[in-house]
Amino acid sequence: MSEWSPDSWKSKTASQQPTYADQQKLQETLAHLANLPPLVTSWEIESLKEQLAAASCGEAFLLQAGDCCESLDDCHGDAIVRNLKVLMQMSFVLAHGCKKKIIRVGRTAGQYAKPRSAETETRDGVTLPVYRGDIVNRFAFSEEDRQPDPELLLRGYERAALTLNFLRGLCVGGFADLRHPEYWQLEFPSNSPRQKQYDDMVKSITGSLHFMEAVIGTGFGDIGSVEVFTAHEGLHLNYEQAQTRKVPRREGWYNLSTHFPWIGYRTRDVNGAHVEYFRGIENPVGLKVGPQMEPDELTEIVSVLNEKNEPGHITLIHRMGASEIESKLPNLIDAVSKKDQLVTWCSDPMHGNTYTTASGIKTRNFDDILSELLKAFDVHKSCGSVLGGVHLELTGDNVTECVGGSTNVDELDLTKAYKSNVDPRLNYDQSMELAFLIAERMQA
Ligand code: PEP
Ligand code: CO
């Protein structure tokens, strides 16, 4: 293979990249970005990689969840707190069910670039560049808003820093104290029958904690803080490159804009620029795997991405769709096993189950999501592999974007609180219900 450098991807075809009118401004912005301090550290990245290696053999479980796409305008305290609360509550439920360490990873602090299926969008006879996420252009449908603007790269980076700064504060302060899960309650009432189950579980756990502390006569050391990692799709290669650095006393290059970047399904070409960029970084890397992926294609990409077959380095996030997972996944698992490739398997039950309603709204059905997840557990069991985690699009907001669940969101409800600019997310009740169902499945 030819020599790798942070910009060697430029010699390959890069799909899903915006076309900037002002190249000089783009270059100046990227130079500026490359000079700003990193958002994460190499030791956090290495720690996550070790934990993902543990998940690959069933000793830990990955909960990767958050927005489909973050927006610059939504970078405010309430939203960050709400999303962290859901992640914490879900991880509590999962840990209680599976008795394993839960690795919390947010789709956050940089999830600003979106792959799109068309280059342009046409409304009432007017055709403009498609919206590619807040780091590229603006959602509003005007000539000016849809022009890719280099300045947005800096705005996105700054918002990512603001988000991460607040998250870090919450994770070490009283908010994250396991003895006070009441701090993580959401402000709105839940109609879900799962709420009582959650409250009872929390009471019993905190009761035991307080009991143990009383008996031992001292507090548990680490219980006042939790660990949360960040992830985003590494789509915008100039942005990712600007954050790719060497660090003292370690070999190799790190992408210091996030702990865990992933390659989207649309940019998985083994000869393409994304795989070229990702093969050179030390971060744990996610790869989306969908129904059109061929077994040989998958093992080839994995061998390029993980030349040293390092455990924890590659997480294969399969998003097959509930109707395809049983026919497509086993061959992929077999191919990877036959080559002794060390990977962590993770189920994304969202992206293969999207459909458009008769009235033109993009949604997903809770039952399909659950069905794909449960099938993922079964398929891995029968193939002798381990499902090491889940990847979800959700929010702590009370939205109505996905139908179904025990609170019965139906197609007519979708217009009530549909806020996502791209993909539909599970709301709080749906997320918690799913956590309980996964926990029950893992317990069984
Ligand atoms: C996503 O995770 O938002 C996404 C676009 O997924 P995929 O690449 O699996 O389609
Ligand atoms: Co999405």
Domain boundaries, the chain: 8-443
In tens digits, the chain (444 residues) has pLDDT values of 889 999 999 999 999 999 999 999 999 999 999 999 999 999 999 999 999 999 999 999 999 999 999 999 999 999 999 999 999 999 999 999 999 999 999 999 999 999 999 999 999 999 999 999 999 999 999 999 999 999 999 999 999 999 999 999 999 877 888 788 888 888 777 878 888 898 898 888 888 888 888 888 877 766 778 899 999 999 999 999 999 999 999 999 999 999 999 999 999 999 999 999 999 999 999 999 999 999 999 999 999 999 999 999 999 999 999 999 999 999 999 999 999 999 999 999 999 999 999 999 999 999 999 999 999 999 999 999 999 999 999 999 999 999 999 889 999 999 999 999 899 999 999 999 999 999 999 998
Q: What is the DSSP letter of 36?
A: S
CA distances from 236 to 108, 115, 273, 274, 369 (A): 15, 9, 11, 9, 28
What pTM does this model have?
Answer: 0.97
| Three-state DSSP state, 2 | coil
To test the pocket of ligand 1, the residue of 112, 114, 265, 422 to mutate (highest count of ligand atoms within 8 Å of its CB) is 265
At 286, give phi and psi (nearest 5°): -95, 145
Q: What is the DSSP letter of 363?
A: E
Tokens of 92: 């509590």
Tokens of 202: 């929390």
To test the pocket of ligand 1, the residue of 351, 354, 392 to mutate (highest count of ligand atoms within 8 Å of its CB) is 351
By alpha-carbon position, which residue is closest to atom 10 of ligand 1? 265
For residue 427, the CA-to-ligand 1 centroid distance in Å is 18
Instruction: Tell which residue, 390, 321, 379, 389, has the closest CA to residue 351.
Output: 321
CA dihedral 392, 395, 398, 402 (to 10 degrees): -30
Tokens of 438: 């996964």
Ligand 1 pocket at CB < 6 A: 68, 115, 233, 264-266, 288, 319, 351, 423
Domain 8-443 has CATH 3.40.50.300: no
